[in-house]
Amino acid sequence: SPEDRIRNFSIIAHIDHGKSTLADRLLEITGTVTKEDMKQQLLDSMDIERERGITIKLNTARMNVEEDGKDYVLNLIDTPGHVDFTYEVSRSLAACEGALLVVDATQGVQAQTLANVTLAMEADLEIVPVLNKCDLPSADPDRVCQEIEDVVGIDCSNALQCSAKTGEGVPAIIKSIIDAVPAPTKSEDQKMRLLVFDSFYDNYRGVIAMFRVVDGSISKGQKIRFKNSGKEFLVEEIGIMIGGARRPVQKLAVGEVGYVCANIKTVGDARVGDTIIEAGTEDEVEALPGYTEATPMVFCGLFPSESGDFDAMRSAFEKLSLNDAALFFQPENSVALGLGFRCGFLGVLHMEVVKERLEREYDLDLIVTAPSVEYQLLMKDGTETTIQFANMLPPPIDIAEIREPYCLLEMIVPEEHMGPCMELAVQRRGIYRTTSFLTQGRALLEYEMPMAEMIRDFFAELKSRSRGYASMDYRIIDFRANDLVKLEVDINKTTANPLAQIVHRSRVTEFAKKITKILRDEIPAQQIKVIIQARIGTHIVSSANIKAVRKDVLAKCYGGDITRKKKLLQKQAAGKKRMQAIGKVNVPSEAILAVIKQT
């Protein structure tokens, strides 16, 4: 039957190990896309993704291949390559029967190799190990095979070696997909169930949902229902993706992968992980397992630098959220930063990508506040709530317990850099779990660590302590009660709201000192004395003063050269624009930002 000739597979890899390059080669060698048509890295189509070399939104490609005189259909289901998008990775893997595990033969197993392979095993996929970059002189495929066997625990005696760059060894991979990846199991007579593994917004067609037919079939003109959201639509078009282009078809049967357009207005109505069923069958047909709503894990405030940009920012957010079901935003009025938004993201990268898109695609100049995690509060009256910003914290007297999210952190580091990396983990309140050694001088370290410490530039610090060699991955495991307090900052007795943060008691002194020092250096001297105090409740942890200066700043330039005078005036004018009055003190926005960035 036709489904015997279908192979649905993904490529999983650590960042930079060659997933996109291999996907390109597969499309090229199967003649799906001609070399002339092939844009560099076709599958990563968003600009930011291309620049950062990561895949955020998934793309699929259908390839037709002839092998031993038989025609096969290979559906490549691309997965996002970042830890923030684990849920989306798990849904696209759920649409496959197999996965190519690509490992850079010069680098070996890395943190996301492990994370991805764990997901693939949980999805019961047939895993085909592929050693890439074998064209490089430093490639050591035998050692890396051993490493995969030791760490991942899969047989590598038949591991394939290739160069995605030159194409060497890639035809053998195609043969291996056909031989090793199972065909979809058939259940053609059953009622329609489609797994949505990606959805995105198209300006002309509205939302396009990518799906895998798990049971039954779908036809044009049918009335469908998203089982979890309960939304119903009339199918306008179904089809398959060939090299980035949509080709409409009349019907797609069990095992096949395709797209559907049904006049859907936002991706929130066609969420990844939802099950499409035939309208009217909702009482008899169950949803496919594994659906969860994307929950934001990292929060921050985003404010326009120009207060007049607030409306433009709101409309930009609305447009972005058509295509991003995980993006959370809500207007906020901050004393120091003006009108802006409180936002929630899947993780730090998701946050950076959204910020970058607002700046680039919508031409907005933004101020970002320090990222925060979500805290669970148990109140003394027995009620529970969650908060995402220090300003939302009720009086401590009413709180019985504050819980913060913990993650399981896996780092792979060269043994010679283990010391400084472990020191960092402890500094960040990490709880040591285990060490295991990989082949040839690398160690896999496991810690449990508060997520709040992770989002404070942990990865950058880890990279610098390992000379760039460490890789890491994390996943949230639970919430734990800790001794957490609100650290606030007063400037001449007026509280600077954007600077409040929730900090573990053990780190309060360090943070308080840092904050007062930064503000002392960044706030220009004024006509009155400035007193900066970092405090918990009424207890002052650290303070600093800035002496008053005479009114005419230019007096000191008297007789000095004219350009210096001019420069000073210019600087003052520019400064004025971004000054915020906190109490009677003029605080430059840069001072607030410096604190937010460095704590």
The reply to whether 477 sits in an annotated binding site is no
Residues in the chain: 599
> Helix (H, G, I), strand (E, B), or coil: what is residue 307?
helix
Q: Phi/psi of residue 265, each to 5°?
A: -85, -35
21 touches ligand GDP by CB under 6 A: yes
172 forms part of the interface with ligand GDP (CB under 6 A) = no
Question: Per-residue x/- marks for Mg ion, 6-35, CB under 5 A?
Answer: --------------x---------------
Candidate residues 12, 13, 326, 412; the one interacting with ligand GDP per rule CB under 6 A: 13
How far is it, in rounded angstroms, from Cα 25 to Cα 19?
10
Whether residue 465 contacts residue 421, with contact meaning beta carbons closer than 8 Å, is answered with yes
Question: Which region, judged by CB under 6 A, interacts with ligand GDP, from 19-27, 109-117, 193-201, 388-396?
Answer: 19-27
What is the closest distance, in whole angstroms, from the C-beta atom of residue 93 to Mg ion in the complex?
A: 17
Closest CB to Mg ion among residues 55, 471: 55
User: Helix or strand or coil: residue 110?
Assistant: coil
Binds ligand GDP (CB under 6 A): choice among 135, 237, 356, 457: 135
| Residue 159 counted as an annotated binding residue | no
The smaller minimum CB distance to Mg ion, of residues 301 and 347, is found at 347
Phi, psi angles (nearest 5°) of residue 135: -75, -20
Say how far apart CA 478 and CA 476 lie, in whole Å: 6
Q: At 476, which amino acid appears?
A: I
Interface with ligand GDP in residues 50-69 (CB under 6 A): 53
Rule CB under 6 A: say whether 112 interacts with ligand GDP. no
Q: Which is nearer to Mg ion, 55 or 533 (CB)?
A: 55
HEC assignment per residue over 13-52? ECCCCCHHHHHHHHHHHCCCCCCCCCCCCCCCCCHHHHHH
80 annotated to a ligand binding site: yes
Residue 364 amino acid letter: L
**What is the size of the binding site for Mg ion (CB under 5 A)?**
2
> In whole angstroms, what is the distance from residue 389 CA to residue 373 CA?
8
Q: Which stretch binds Mg ion (CB under 5 A): 54-62, 169-177, 416-424, 546-554?
A: 54-62
Closest approach, Cβ 22 to ligand GDP, in A, equals: 7
Smallest distance from Mg ion to CB 132, Å: 12
**Number of other CB atoms surrounding residue 14 within 10 Å:** 24
Q: How many secondary structure helices (H) and strands (E) does the chain include?
A: 14, 33
First to last CA, the chain: 61
Q: Which does 133 bind (CB under 5 to 8 A by kind): Mg ion, ligand GDP, none?
A: ligand GDP
What's the rounded Cα separation, in Å, for the pair 167 and 589?
A: 52
Q: Which residues participate in the annotated binding site? A: 13-20, 78-82
List of residues contacting Mg ion (CB under 5 A)? 20, 55
Q: Which residues participate in the annotated binding site for GTP? A: 13-20, 78-82
List of residues contacting ligand GDP (CB under 6 A)? 13, 15-21, 53, 81, 132-133, 135-136, 163-165
